Amino acid sequence: MCAKLLKEIEREVTDFLSGLIRINTTNPPGNETPAAKYTAEVLEKDGFKCEQFESAPGRGNVVTRLKGTGEKPSLLLLSHLDVVAANPKEWSVDPFGGVVKDGFVWGRGALDMKGMTAIEVMTMKLLKRNGVKLKGDVVLAATADEEKGGEAGAGWLVRNHVKKVRADYVLNEGGGMAFQADGKNIYTVQTAEKGILWFKIKSKGRPGHGSVPGAADNAIMRMNKVVEKLGNHCSEIVLVPTFKQYLTEVAKEDKFLREDVMSLLKNPQKADQILDSLARKDNYMAEEFRARLRMTVTPTMIQGGVKENIVPSECEAVFDCRVLPGQSPAQALDEIKGLLKDVGLDKLEFEIIQANEPSESPLKTPLYELIAGTLREFDPNCAVAPVLLTGGTDSRFFRSLGSVCYGFHPVRPDLPYSEMQRTIHGIDERISIENLVFGTSVLYNLVERFMT
């Protein structure tokens, strides 16, 4: 692309993102409709026909499509329009001001993930303006509610308007940001994510006077055993294909980690020992690796007792369990109940709060190959590694339809990787204008090649 054109794109994508950040879509309540409307208006200027869907009043989603001949698979460019809360007092700029300064667009959502909405919208416009002859449909969907689980956004669209959004391939958030190893940029592609099992346990006892504890049966004491067991549980180590490939790439590129990672690959059953030693160099990384190797159970809330001198007959605790691809929330629950047999299952009541299946897409696909190839054109010395997220994204809704989903928002590390990560759901979230242009260039070239 010539310099004049690039300058124009730079202005357009920056203005669009700045405007989108100014629309406060903090979820809850979300209130994404004005953001969906704004996105539709910007697309309609280029002649797109957009459809807007509200899953509930104020919960807007927008979808548009460029038709292809049908000779190639279809592709969905997915993003979410809602953001998490931001406290203006903690920020150095107004998080909803759409501030552009020092070469960055600042504000809540700049990275997660209005910045990707912006490069996806720009990519759609460029495909149309350049009259690209598409061999498959390219769909864009910008949705509500991801930050609260996506049931009023992507989940709702999949349940109610599946024909509008189903595609063979999906590009979404969750990867693409590069980290550095030995001066080389390693771009991630999210190919898998853990599943969720949020559940509540109620322990039962028998009330009595606090001064004669032996005559009662204390539900808090029972819950204490439950929390101890589950919180310290080390589930079986499983090396899923995505994480295995990730470690292989890291071992190739990162001298600092090579030795530990190689022994981890050779001896996954000794992972805990190896990670204990890695933790002395980089604690966060070691713990993140550990969470990618097994199902985890974390006690997150607890409540019990009514008065100083009453032995409690009830105590409730909530647990956040995350399961690996290949496992299921139902299996996890069985494992958990098995651990609690000697605490007395007859005195424990289980309630499922939320359960999402884990998901993983294949690593060997034409799109994955093309992602790596396109990146190398823009950043010749780079490497690409697939990543397993310990959290979740809207990709799971589409993986359950059989789509191949990749998290890929290409971002160069023009701020240190850890600093960039900290701003997501944190303070002073921002993306450089250079990265908006880089992201648009990579995404446009990738889509153009994949679809023609």
Q: Which positions touch Zn ion (CB under 5 A)?
A: 112-113, 173
- Indicate the residue among 110 and 113 with the shorter CB distance to Zn ion: 113
Apex CA 445: angle with CA 36 and CA 442, to 5°?
A: 75
> CA-CA distance, 409 to 110, in Å (whole number)?
12
Query: What's the token pair of residue 350?
Result: 């289980």
What is the distance between the alpha carbons of residues 115 and 410, in angstroms, rounded to a whole number?
A: 10
- Choose between 113 and 201: whose C-beta lies nearer to Zn ion: 113
By C-beta, is 145 or 173 nearer to Zn ion? Answer: 173
Q: Which of residues 83 and 343 has its CB atom nearest to Zn ion in the complex? A: 83
Taking CA atoms, 164 is separated from 63, 69, 157, 160, 393, in Å, by 7, 17, 8, 9, 20
Minimum distance of Zn ion from residue 191's CB (angstroms): 17
Q: Among residues 175 and 208, whose Cβ is nearest to Zn ion?
A: 175
Tell me how far, at minimum, the Cβ of 62 lies from Zn ion, in Å: 17
- Least Å distance between CB 27 and Zn ion? 10
- Measured at the CA of 286, the angle between CA 365 and CA 423, to 5 degrees, comes to 75
| Sign of the torsion angle spanned by Cα atoms 178, 181, 185, 190 | negative
Find tokens 């329009």 and name the residue.
81
Nearer to Zn ion, 106 or 450 (CB): 106
The C-alpha atoms of residue 242 and residue 177 are separated, in whole angstroms, by 17
For residue 173, the minimal CB distance to Zn ion (Å) is: 5
Nearest residue (CB) to Zn ion, 158 versus 271: 158
**Can you tell me whether residue 142 is helix, strand or coil?**
strand
Q: Provide, rounded to whole angstroms, the least separation between the CB of residue 106 and Zn ion.
A: 17
Amino acid type, 47: G
Nearest distance from C-beta of residue 146 to Zn ion, angstroms: 5
Neighbours of 11 (CB within 10 A): 11
Give whichever of 43 and 113 is closer to Zn ion, judged by the CB atom.
113
Does 223 sit behind a cis peptide bond, omega within 30 degrees of 0 on the bond before it?
Answer: no
The H or E element spanning position 389 is strand 383-389
Q: 252 by DSSP, 3-state: which?
A: helix
Burial 242-266 (b: 16+ CB within 10 A, else e): bbebbbebbbebbeebeebbebbee
The single-letter code of the amino acid at 258 is R
Closest approach of Zn ion to the CB of residue 439, in Å: 15
Looking at the Cβ atoms of 27 and 123, the one nearer to Zn ion is 27
> Which candidate, 282, 286, 196, 293, places its Cα nearest to that of 242?
293
Least separation in angstroms between CB 144 and Zn ion: 12
Nearer to Zn ion, 137 or 146 (CB): 146
Give phi and psi for 172, each to the nearest 5. Answer: -145, -170
CB of 121 to Zn ion, least distance (A): 16
User: Cβ contacts of residue 252 below 8 Å, gap of 6+?
Assistant: 383
Q: How far apart are CA 336 and CA 330, in angstroms?
A: 10
Least separation in angstroms between residue 266's CB and Zn ion is: 35
**Which residue's CB is nearer to Zn ion, number 81 or number 293?**
81
As a whole number of angstroms, the distance between CA 298 and CA 232 comes to: 9
Pairing of strands 383-389, 184-193: parallel
Tell the smallest beta-carbon distance from residue 105 to Zn ion (Å): 16
Is residue 364 helix, strand or coil? coil
